[in-house]
Copies of this chain bind each other. A is one copy, B any other.
Amino acid sequence: MRITAIHETTVPIASAMRNASIAFDAMTASALAIETDCRIDGDPVVGYAFDSIGRYGKGALLRERFLPRLLAADAASLQDASGLIDPTRAAQVCMQNEKAGGHGERPGAIALIEAALWDARAKAMGQALWRVLASDEGSTARTPTIATYGSCGHFRPGESLDGLKAEVNRALEAGFRLVKIKVGGVLPDDLHRIEAALAVTGAGCLAVDVNGVLEGSSGEAWLRAASALPIAFVEEPSSALDYAGLAALREASRVPVATGENLFSLDDTRNLMRHGGLRAGSDLIQVDPLLAYGVAEYRRILAFAESQGWHRGQFWPHAGHLYAAQLVAGFGLGSAEAAPDASLAWGGYWDDCPVVDGRITLPELPGVGFEGKRNLLAALQWWRSR
């Protein structure tokens, strides 16, 4: 199995919304398609990957460093003993002569390549990706039915609390039971926002995302006030890399804390677990495999976490869409995050797989199954019409 062509493009996903830390006016994402010489029913196997949202596309690094290394590699150096492309070996080739540390854009670029090759490999094996991942771990207990939650409620110019309530209600109507909204880290405004959303979801079915803006005693006051309301968890209370600051804030929250979407490596996640004051029995880790070197690194993260008393159910990967859902099922993780609006290429799930009572059953399509979500597949096949 050899790579025959690679296509990548940057997709504009600009939106007039913001969270507590950034606006999305000029946001982009990368789409990647890797063609192979493997054929199924006469058609070449193509592996796809579509970026996580929020840290801009990875095209620049893909073009400048990683795709040239992949294309220059001997085919044998990318394969396992069976002759299939081994995504882990391919990612190692891409990382040749890269210094340690500095986990920023690079982990997302490497993860995209690895993800497209996992899609291709699972297709070549004729299996859904989650089955391949579970099988690689020798697990027979995994199932294609997973928990999911809806993430919405960004800040939009001129939006009222009624607008927020309508958006949360749309998520419930789409089948989600747990809904997460953005808050600004500001009292008492956030309490009104939370109470408005809770009136729609009911107690325990709302989470809030502070996007890292809390700190010090005012942050502790915010957490004490917000966590007195019946919310499921508070996401990213403080700056991603301020572990000591997080440890202090953690004490002020009566509900679980979720964090990790801005940590892109085992190195950083290990530091979070060592120094962040999180509780292995209740808090949630949201490291996003598609921004953090991919499957191989995520396995290392899970192995370290389990050695420290964490359970896989406490891993709720950030951002998601189809690829993350495959990993949630394949690794037996807690829940997959989704933008509820399936009319977006990066929102919702497969066209024929509705969210029902906060759960979804993955289809039996080979690979990630991008072929089962028409608007996302169109974004991944732009190069076919050229």
A351 contacts the other chain (Cβ, under 8 Å)? Answer: no
Nearest B residue (CB) for A212:
B100
- What string of 1s and 0s marks CB contacts (under 8 Å) between A261-298 and chain B? 01111011011001100000000000000000000000
Question: Contact at A271–B241, with CB atoms within 8 Å?
Answer: yes
Nearest B residue (CB) for A107:
B104
A140 contacts the other chain (Cβ, under 8 Å)? Answer: no
Cβ contacts under 8 Å, A212 to chain B: 100-101
A105 contacts the other chain (Cβ, under 8 Å)? Answer: yes
Place the interface of chain A in its size category.
Answer: 35 or more
A169 contacts the other chain (Cβ, under 8 Å)? Answer: no
Question: Contact at B99–A21, with CB atoms within 8 Å?
Answer: yes
Among B10, B104, B243, the residue within 8 A (CB) of A104 is: B104
A54 contacts the other chain (Cβ, under 8 Å)? Answer: yes
Interface residues of A in 250-265 (CB under 8 A from B): 262-265
Nearest B residue (CB) for A106:
B104
Q: How long is the Cα–Cα vector from A330 to B265 in the complex, in angstroms?
A: 35
A59 contacts the other chain (Cβ, under 8 Å)? Answer: yes
Among B22, B57, B99, the residue within 8 A (CB) of A55 is: B99
A60 contacts the other chain (Cβ, under 8 Å)? Answer: yes
Question: Contact at B274–A244, with CB atoms within 8 Å?
Answer: yes
Q: How long is the Cα–Cα vector from A3 to B241 in the complex, in angstroms?
A: 34
A102 contacts the other chain (Cβ, under 8 Å)? Answer: yes
Interface residues of A in 72-100 (CB under 8 A from B): 97-100
**Given A241-B271, A242-B267, A267-B242, CB of A262 within 8 Å of CB of B100:** yes
- What string of 1s and 0s marks CB contacts (under 8 Å) between A23-35 and chain B? 1111100000000
- Per DSSP, chain A at the interface is loop
A349 contacts the other chain (Cβ, under 8 Å)? Answer: no
A156 contacts the other chain (Cβ, under 8 Å)? Answer: no
Q: How long is the Cα–Cα vector from A243 to B24 in the complex, in angstroms?
A: 34
Question: Contact at A97–B23, with CB atoms within 8 Å?
Answer: yes
Q: How long is the Cα–Cα vector from A105 to B25 in the complex, in angstroms?
A: 22
**Given A99-B21, A262-B102, CB of A268 within 8 Å of CB of B244:** no
A344 contacts the other chain (Cβ, under 8 Å)? Answer: no
Question: Contact at A97–B271, with CB atoms within 8 Å?
Answer: no
A361 contacts the other chain (Cβ, under 8 Å)? Answer: no
Q: How long is the Cα–Cα vector from A43 to B243 in the complex, in angstroms?
A: 50
Cβ contacts under 8 Å, A39 to chain B: none
In the assembled complex, 16 residue pairs joining A and B whose CB atoms fall closer than 8 Å, in A order, are: A23-B97, A25-B97, A60-B64, A61-B61, A61-B105, A100-B239, A101-B262, A102-B103, A102-B240, A103-B104, A104-B106, A104-B264, A105-B106, A241-B265, A243-B271, A244-B274
